[in-house]
Structure 1
Amino acid sequence: MTEPTREEAPNRLVTLVRRKDRPVCLMLPGAGGGLNPYLRLASYLGGQYSVYAVRAAGLVPGDTPEDSIAEMAESALSALGDRSPALVFGWSLGGTVGWEVCVRLADRGVRPDLVIVDSSPLPRHATPDEDERIRKLIVAGLGPRPDGDTVARVERTFRSQVRALAGYATEREYPGRALMLMCEDADDGISGREVALNRWRELAPDLRTATLDAGHYDVFEPAHLDQLTGEIGAFLGQEREA
């Protein structure tokens, strides 16, 4: 059986919170494509938004992982259809994809608020040992006895995402409002946080920044949720600049 084309692939838009007549929030997953880390935050954002996420390509049978950040951004917009997001959220890889989504939306005259957690606009440089550690964390998140085929699809998707990040550097400015939340740990997640943050500042003229008292992989845990939602709520409550 041949694999489906992009047009024939299953719909990847996942409804997390549906609120009638509320503005749309789009959430983009980190490496591995899992959405479970976002569920608590989605519940909070659901107080103001209808919240959707885009499942990473490659996680269901017959689906093919995407090879570039540009392709991920384009397919996220395609999954949204005629929905126009008022807020785009992304963590790690998802933040990088979120940036590219917003740049493309700005070309259409739409400037959603953008919230990025611990992402870099620079090419990713990682050792095989670091990639292996992250792979194990992602697989562990599948549960105690994950199906072998599921593990294989997740690992293949992760490898494609790693290659995409290694070959990507953010080049275009985003003129909309943006919030960059960086995690505190210096030896986990992304490297060169200060260099990355300085580059974000060059690319985003309307950028707010803050640091979270959490590590890259525990930022969505209940112990850190109040700080995370507090920073996001304060940003969303600020007046838009004229």
Structure 2
Amino acid sequence: MDADLLVPFGDGDGDGSPLYCVHSASGSAYTYLPMSGMLDGRRVVGIEAPGYDSDDLPPTDLRTLADRYARVVADDCGTSEACLLGWSMGGSVAYAMAWRLRAMGIAVPLVVLVDALMHHTEAVPATREILTRFAINLAREGGGGQVEDRVVAELRAWPADAPVTQAWPLLRRGGLIPEEFDADTLNRRFEVFRRNVHALHRYAPEPGYPGRLLVIDGEDSVHGHQRWTDVAQNVRAVTVPGDHFSLWRGAGMAALVEQVREALREACPAAQKVRA
């Protein structure tokens, strides 16, 4: 059931519109768990990718994925409003969802895009690049430090025409894969990641979005050539300490939460909700 893709965080019972947080390419929504308890009691719900913890798999078309998630949110929110947040790939999915929810008659007072680059002008990466990104994400989303050079070094021994299963012992040898992840789990989660990367690179954001967007970038993150101001009409952009991964910890997390909290208070306060 698609409702199983929702991951409720905490027991938020505030009056403001619920905040739905979309997974990154990894498929996991648990990045958002620490933030969820810092938003004035607001209900926060993660959206997990099909296949992350099931036998399903996500489509390689981001619009199809956004359609599916929008229907799940519409069924779940129980109100006429829903706010959205997405980090990395999740930002593009949240943006696409906002269009669909508005078309369904559900107001979207706020969309928050966290370090979300647009990749539609780039070719879909080769398997080696996707595997490298997967390993880096696996290590750094788990709280690891800078591992990029170590991942590249270990994968030099992986032939590009070999099955990805032959990469797992190399990465495990380098201490880059958690011991509790068996080969089946790694194979499934890599396939989820691969499909999500393909979907992201094939998605050109629909231009002209009229609703409120808050764009949060890490000060040390890589910045793309395209900006969300190129496709949306009402954008406020801010930066917080950290890079693509470390902004979810320490000073970066504190600044990010403050920006999100204030934007939610302004866009959809409990006393008088402002509609998109």
TM-score interval for Structure 1 and Structure 2 normalised by the shorter chain: 0.7 to 0.9
Query: Shift of the alpha carbon at 1:152?
Result: 1.1
In 2, distance between residues paired with 1:52 and 1:70? 21
More off after superposition, 21-30 vs 49-58: 21-30
Residue 30 of structure 1 is matched in structure 2 by 24
Of residues 43, 46, 53, the one that matches 2:37 is: 43
Q: Percent identity?
A: 26
Query: Shift of the alpha carbon at 1:25?
Result: 0.9
Of residues 4, 16, 38, the one that matches 2:9 is: 16
2:94–2:111 CA contact under 8 A, matched in 1: yes
1:112–1:177 CA contact under 8 A, matched in 2: yes
In 1, distance between residues paired with 2:220 and 2:263? 23
Instruction: Decide whether aligned partners of structure 1 residues 124 and 151 sit closer, same or farther in structure 2, where only a CA change above 3 A counts.
Output: farther
Instruction: Decide whether aligned partners of structure 1 residues 108 and 138 sit closer, same or farther in structure 2, where only a CA change above 3 A counts.
Output: same
**TM-score, structure 2 as length reference:** 0.73
Q: Which secondary structure state, in structure 1, belongs to the residue aligned with residue 50 of structure 2?
A: coil
Query: Shift of the alpha carbon at 1:28?
Result: 0.3
Query: Shift of the alpha carbon at 1:127?
Result: 5.0
In 2, distance between residues paired with 1:38 and 1:233? 14
1:219–1:225 CA contact under 8 A, matched in 2: yes
Residue 64 of structure 1 is matched in structure 2 by 57
2:108–2:275 CA contact under 8 A, matched in 1: no
One-letter code aligned to 1:99:
Y
Look at both structures and tell me which one has the larger radius of gyration over its CA atoms. 2
Deviations 1:44-63 (A, max 9, x none): 13x24211111101223421
Aligned pair 1:116/2:110, yes or no?
A: no
Taking the TM superposition and a 5 Å limit, the aligned residue runs for 1:175-194 are: 175-185=210-220, 187=222, 191-192=223-224
In 1, distance between residues paired with 2:204 and 2:48? 23
Instruction: Decide whether aligned partners of structure 1 residues 20 and 230 sit closer, same or farther in structure 2, where only a CA change above 3 A counts.
Output: closer
In 1, distance between residues paired with 2:3 and 2:111? 27
Taking the TM superposition and a 5 Å limit, the aligned residue runs for 1:71-220 are: 71-80=64-73, 81-83=75-77, 84=79, 85-109=81-105, 110-123=107-120, 125=122, 128=126, 130-140=129-139, 141=142, 143-185=178-220, 187=222, 191-192=223-224, 195-197=225-227, 200-220=228-248
Query: Shift of the alpha carbon at 1:76?
Result: 1.1
In 1, distance between residues paired with 2:252 and 2:49? 25
In 2, distance between residues paired with 1:103 and 1:88? 11
One-letter code aligned to 1:173:
G
Residue 5 of structure 1 is matched in structure 2 by none
Unaligned runs of 5+ in 2: 143-176, 268-273
In 1, distance between residues paired with 2:13 and 2:262? 24
Residue 3 of structure 1 is matched in structure 2 by none
Query: Shift of the alpha carbon at 1:9?
Result: 6.0
Query: Shift of the alpha carbon at 1:186?
Result: 5.0
Q: Which secondary structure state, in structure 2, belongs to the residue aligned with residue 238 of structure 1?
A: helix
Query: Shift of the alpha carbon at 1:237?
Result: 3.5
2:58–2:65 CA contact under 8 A, matched in 1: no
In 1, distance between residues paired with 2:11 and 2:44? 6
Q: Which secondary structure state, in structure 2, belongs to the residue aligned with residue 208 of structure 1?
A: strand
Instruction: Decide whether aligned partners of structure 1 residues 241 and 19 sit closer, same or farther in structure 2, where only a CA change above 3 A counts.
Output: closer
Unaligned runs of 5+ in 1: 1-7
In 1, distance between residues paired with 2:76 and 2:258? 30
**TM-score, structure 1 as length reference:** 0.83
Q: Which secondary structure state, in structure 2, belongs to the residue aligned with residue 88 of structure 1?
A: strand
1:88–1:113 CA contact under 8 A, matched in 2: yes
Query: Shift of the alpha carbon at 1:67?
Result: 1.3
- Cα RMSD, aligned residues only: 2.5
Instruction: Decide whether aligned partners of structure 1 residues 61 and 87 sit closer, same or farther in structure 2, where only a CA change above 3 A counts.
Output: closer
Query: Shift of the alpha carbon at 1:99?
Result: 0.2
